Structure 1
Amino acid sequence: MSVLDCFAAPVVSHQTPDLPGLSACSLVCKSWSIHAQRRLFRRVAIVSNESEPHQNARRISLFLDAIHPATERGRCLGSCVLALTLRHADRKGLSKALLRVPNLRHLDTTTSSCDFDAPTLTAFRGKGPQITSLCIQEDFSFFPGQHSGRMHRLVAAFPSIRLLEITSNANSTLPPFEPPPKLSLVAVKFKTTLVQDIGPCLSSLTAGDGLQLLLHDSLRGTRSFTPTPDIGVNLRSLSLQTIDADALGLVHCTNLERFELGRFPDLATLRAIPPSITALSISGTPAANVPVGISFGTFLEELESGFPNLRTLTWTVDFMPPAFAREALEGVCKRRGVRLSLQVVSSERPDSEKDDSENAVELELKHRYIRI
C-alpha cells in the first residue's frame, strides 16, 4: 500500500492529495479499491459555490450517500473521514455528516452552516465525533451577533476541541463566550483583521472558573475583563492579528511556545510576550511615527536580551527591508542561535510548497491532536 500512500497526503501538512491518482487506483482491481477509497475519504473538502446551489446540494448528497451508515461500505468510508471541510452548506447536510463520521478529528466550516437546534447540539455531544481541531469562519458581517452565537454553541458542543481557529471579517468585536466553554485549548488562532478587541473572547476561551467578565462599557463600547492566574495556562501556540497587550494578560500564558502577531509588535506587547516561547512570528515594519510604536533598534535590543528559549524567528514583510536592518537582525539571531526566516509577501511561496519546519510547534500539536 506504499504506492497509494504516495498519492495521499497527511492532513497536518500543506500538501494536497492527488485525488485523480487515488481515483484511478481505486479502479485498478478489487484488492486496491477499498484501500484507495479509504485514502480518498481521509480528507474531504466540499467548498460550496453560492452561484451553483443545485450543484452544491448534489455534491453534499453524494457524499452523504457514500457514508450512509445503513451499508457496510458506508460505515467503512464514514469511519475513514478524519478531516472535513464543509463551507456554506445546508445545516441539515452538515449535521448529518457530523453524525456519520465517528473518527473525525478536524472540521472546517462556516457559521452559515451552523444554525443548529438544541436537539441536534445534544446529539453532537452524545453521538458526535470527538473533534480535536476546529476552524470556523463568522461569514456574514451584517449579522455578527447571530453568527457569533452559532459559533459559540458549536464550540460548546465539542468539549474535546484542543486546536481552535476563528476567522471573522465583521467590523466589530467578537463577543466573549458566556458561559466560558471550559476547553483545554493548546492552540488558538484568530484571523480577525477588522476586529480589534478580541481580548475578552480569547480570555473566555482560555480561562478557568475564576474568569470575571465585566459589564458593557457605554463610554468605550467594548467589553473588558479581569484576568485571573489560570488564563491561557495550557496554551502552547497563539496567533493574533493585533492585540492590546495590557488587556490580554499574556503573562499568564506560562507554557506558551509559539506566538504569532499579524503586525510588528510595539514595546508593550513585546515585553508582555512570555519568555517561554521558542518560536516568534511577526509581520510588517516598526510604526515609529506612532506614540506606542517601537524603533527597529529597540526591537533588536529586546530580542538580544529577552526570550532565552527562542529558536525560530519568522518576519513577514511587504517588501524587502534595507540591507542594514537585515544584517543587524541576522547578527543578533546568529549570536543567539536563532533560525531566521525572512518572508516577503509578494514572493511568498504557495501553501503547497511551505516548509512545515517553520511552524514546528503548531505542526507537532496537529500531529498529536489530529493524530494522522
Structure 2
Amino acid sequence: MKNQARLLTTTPTTPSAKILPPHLPLDVIHRVLDLAYYDDNFEPDRKLLARCSLVCKDWSLPSQSLLFKHVQLRTQSAFESFSAAVNHDSEKGRHLANSIARLHVLLDFGNADALSISSFVAAVHLSSAMFELEVSIFGRGARREDDAWIVDAGADQTPSFDADILAMLCCGPQISALRVNNWSGNDQLALQLLCVWPTLSSVHLTGLAPAVRSPESPDETIAPFPCNLREAHLSFQSSPTLSFATWLLLNSSQSLRVLHLEREVSPDLSKFLISQHKSTLSSLTLHACTNPGLASLIQDCEELEELQFMDPHVSPLLLKKLPRALKHLAFAIDRNTLLHAAVDGLRAMKTLRRITIDVCPGGRVHPSMPGLKVACATNGITLSRTSSARAFHALVRGDPLPVTTFPRTKNVTNLKTMLAISRSKDFAAAAASPRSVASLNVESLAACGTLPPTVDLSMELKDSTKPASALVMV
C-alpha cells in the first residue's frame, strides 16, 4: 500500500486541457457596447471603449467602430494617427472611415501642434460617410503663412478661408448637419462654411455672431442662405442681428421644425423668429421667457410639442397655459422659480407626457417640488431630473434627425441612422452628377493629399486584436 501511495504521489498527472471561454454572439457584443457608448453627460466614453477594444479579438473591431462614430481631431499629431487608422489601402481602414458619423476638428493657431488647414480638408474627405461636421475656431490676431495660421500680434483677426480651400470642401462628402464654434475675431468664417454645403438641414452656430455682408463689397448684402433648414441652433456671445436671422432662415419658412436660442437674445428677435415660424415649429428652446408678449406668442404655436428653457426664470403666464399640443416641457429650477404656476398648468394639459428639470442650487428644497411630483404622478407624466448642466443640455438637444416623439434622444441607433442617410445621399448625388475636382488648383489638392477612393460597403472585414493607431489620439 505504501509503494502504491508513493507511486501515486510521484507519477506526474496529465495537465487538463485549457478551457477557453465561450464566444458571445456578435449581436450581444454590439448590444453591450452600444449601451456603454455614452457616459453620464451623454458624451462618448472613449476611455471605456478603448479598453473594450483590447478585451479580445471578438470585441476589437466593434469597439473601434464605435470609437470612430464620433472623431475629434485637435492637433496635427492626432490627424496623422487618424489618417493612418483610416488608410483606404486596407479593408479595416476603409471600414473605420465608413464608420464616421460625426467629425469634430479644432483649428487653433496658438497651438504649436495645431491642425493645419490642408489636414482639416483631408480629414473631411477621409470621412466619406460623415453626417455632421463640427468646426471649432479659436484665437485672435493671426496671419496666413503657407498652410497654417501663425500668431501675429499685428493682425487684428483670424484670416478667412481662401477660395481653393472652400472649393475642395465642396468636393467632399455632402453633409446634413454643420456646427461652427467661432471664437476668433473673424465674423465671416461661419458664413463661408455655411455656403459650402447646399445639403444642410441642421445648423448649430456658437461664439461670434456672423455679420451678413459681401467680402468684396462690405456695403453690399449677400444672397439669402439657400438651404431649407429643419433645425437652427443659435448660441452667440451677443444677440445676432435681425438681418442675419432673416438671411439664415428666409428659405426655411415652411421647413423649420426645431429652433434653439440657448443664450439670451433680444426680445424683438425672439418675437420675430417665433412669429415667422410658429405654424411649423415642433420644438422651441429659449434661454428664458419673462416677456408677456413673448409668452403669448409661444402659446399660439399650435404645432409645438416640445418647449425648453435654459434659465429658471419663466413667465408664470406661460406655465399656467402651455401650448395645447405640448408633449415635453424642460426647464431649470432654483429656489426662486415660480413652480406653483407649472403645477397649476399641468391640470389642464391632456397631451403632456414628460417633464425634464435641471435642479440648480437651491432647487432641491423648493417648496413646490413635492406638489410637482404629485401632479406628474396624478396626470401620468414622467418626471426626469438632473443636477448636471452638461447632461441637461445634452438631453434637450438630442441628435439632428427628424423625430416624431419628444424628448429627442442621443443614442447609437441615431448614429447608425445618420450613416445610412449619408450613404444614400452620397450615392444618389454621385449617380446624378459625379463631383469632379478637375477644375481645382492642382497644387492645393496635392497639399491636401490624395483624396480617398469610394468605400466599398460590401467588403469582408478582417478583424484584428491590434487597436487602431488613432484610438488614443482622436
- Alignment TM-score, normalising by the size of structure 1: 0.73
Offset, 1:117: 2.7
The 1-side partners of 2:59 and 2:268 are apart by 58
Matches within 5 A, 1:34-183: 34-46=61-73, 48=74, 56-88=75-107, 89-112=115-138, 115-126=160-171, 128-140=172-184, 143=185, 146=186, 148-168=187-207, 170=208, 173-176=209-212, 178-183=222-227
Secondary structure, aligned partner of 1:159: coil
8 Å contact kept, 2:358–2:389: no
Aligned with 1:64: secondary structure? helix
Question: Contact 1:14–1:352 (CA<8 Å) still a contact in 2?
Answer: yes
Conserved? CA contact 1:25–1:33, under 8 Å: yes
**Preserved CA contact (<8 Å) 1:7 1:21:** no
Cα shift readout 1:186-208 (whole Å, capped 9, x = no counterpart): 1111112x312343222212113
State how far apart, in whole Å, the 1-side matches of 2:100 and 2:397 are.
28
Distance 1:66 1:33 in 2: 14
Deviations 1:270-313 (A, max 9, x none): 22333321111124455xxxxxxx9x55344xx42x62212222
Aligned mates of 1:340, 1:26 — CA distance in 2: 37
- In the alignment, the residues of structure 2 paired with residue 33 and residue 17 of structure 1 have an alpha-carbon distance, to the nearest angstrom, of 17
Which residue, out of 255, 272, 288, partners 1:234? 255
| 2:370 counterpart of 1:326 | no
Structure 2 residue 284 is the aligned partner of structure 1 residue 259? yes
Does the aligned pair in 1 maintain the 2:130–2:419 contact within 8 Å? no
Q: Is the 8 A contact 2:395 2:410 kept in 1?
A: no
Q: CA deviation at 1:23?
A: 3.3
Is the alpha carbon distance of 1:182 and 1:357 closer, same or farther for their aligned partners in structure 2, counting shifts above 3 Å?
A: closer
Write the mapping of 1:197-216 to structure 2, written as runs, cut at 5 A.
Answer: 197-208=240-251
> What runs of 5+ residues in structure 1 fail to find an aligned partner?
49-55, 209-230, 287-293
Does structure 1 conserve the Cα–Cα contact (< 8 Å) formed by 2:98 and 2:129?
yes
- The 1:354/1:249 distance shift into structure 2, 3 A limit, reads closer
For 1:93 and 1:59, how far apart are their aligned partners in 2?
10
Which deviates further from its counterpart, 175-184 or 361-370? 361-370
Aligned partner of 1:313 among 329, 332, 341: 329
Q: Give me the whole-angstrom Cα distance separating, in 1, the residues matched to 2:177 and 2:256.
A: 14
Change (3 A) 1:265 1:185: farther
1:104, distance to aligned residue in structure 2 (A): 0.6
Kept in 2: contact 1:111–1:139 (CA 8 A)? yes
Give the equivalent residue in structure 2 for 1:214.
none
Q: CA deviation at 1:97?
A: 0.2
Q: Quick one: distance in 1 between partners of 2:274 and 2:341?
A: 28
What is the letter of the counterpart of residue 264 of structure 2? T
Greater CA drift, 330-339 or 59-68: 330-339
Deviation at 1:25, TM superposition (A): 4.4
Which residue identity lines up with residue 197 of structure 1 in the other structure?
P
Gaps of at least 5 residues in structure 2 are: 1-25, 108-114, 139-148, 150-158, 214-221, 362-385, 399-405, 421-474
CA distance in 2, matches of 1:69, 1:358: 34
Bigger RCO (CA 8 Å, 6+ sep): 2
User: Which moves more between the two structures, 338-347 or 177-186?
Assistant: 338-347
SS of alignment partner, residue 126 of structure 2: coil
Cα RMSD (Å): 3.4
Which string of whole-angstrom CA distances, capped at 9 and with x for unpartnered residues, describes residues 105-162 of structure 1?
Answer: 1222223599533233223223x1121122211112xx2xx3x322111111112221
2:240 and 2:267 map into 1 onto residues whose CA distance is 11
Deviations 1:18-73 (A, max 9, x none): 43444344445555533332222122123x3xxxxxxx321221112222334443
* Identity fraction in percent: 17
Partner secondary structure for residue 239 of structure 2: coil
In structure 1, what residue type is equivalent to 2:181? Q
CA distance in 2, matches of 1:332, 1:315: 14
2:219 alignment counterpart:
none
3-state SS of 1:68 partner: coil
Assess if the C-alpha contact under 8 Å between 1:44 and 1:83 holds in 2. Answer: yes
C-alpha distance in 2 between matches for 1:298 and 1:84: 42
The structure number with the bigger radius of gyration is: 2
Q: Does 1:188 align with 2:232?
A: yes
Q: What is the CA–CA distance in structure 1 between the aligned matches of 2:121 and 2:175, rounded to whole Å?
A: 14
3-state secondary structure, aligned to 1:243: coil
Q: How many residues matched?
A: 318
Q: 1:362 to 1:90 in 2, by over 3 A?
A: farther
| Letter aligned with residue 311 of structure 1 | K
Q: Which residue of 1 aligns with 2:349?
A: 336
What is the rounded CA distance, in whole Å, between the counterparts of 1:237 and 1:139 in structure 2? 24
Deviations 1:244-273 (A, max 9, x none): 454424222121011111122412222233
**What is residue 220 of structure 1 aligned with on the other side?**
none
1:330 CA drift (Å)? 0.9
- Aligned partner of 1:250 in structure 2 is 274
What is the TM-score when the length of structure 2 is the normalising length? Answer: 0.59
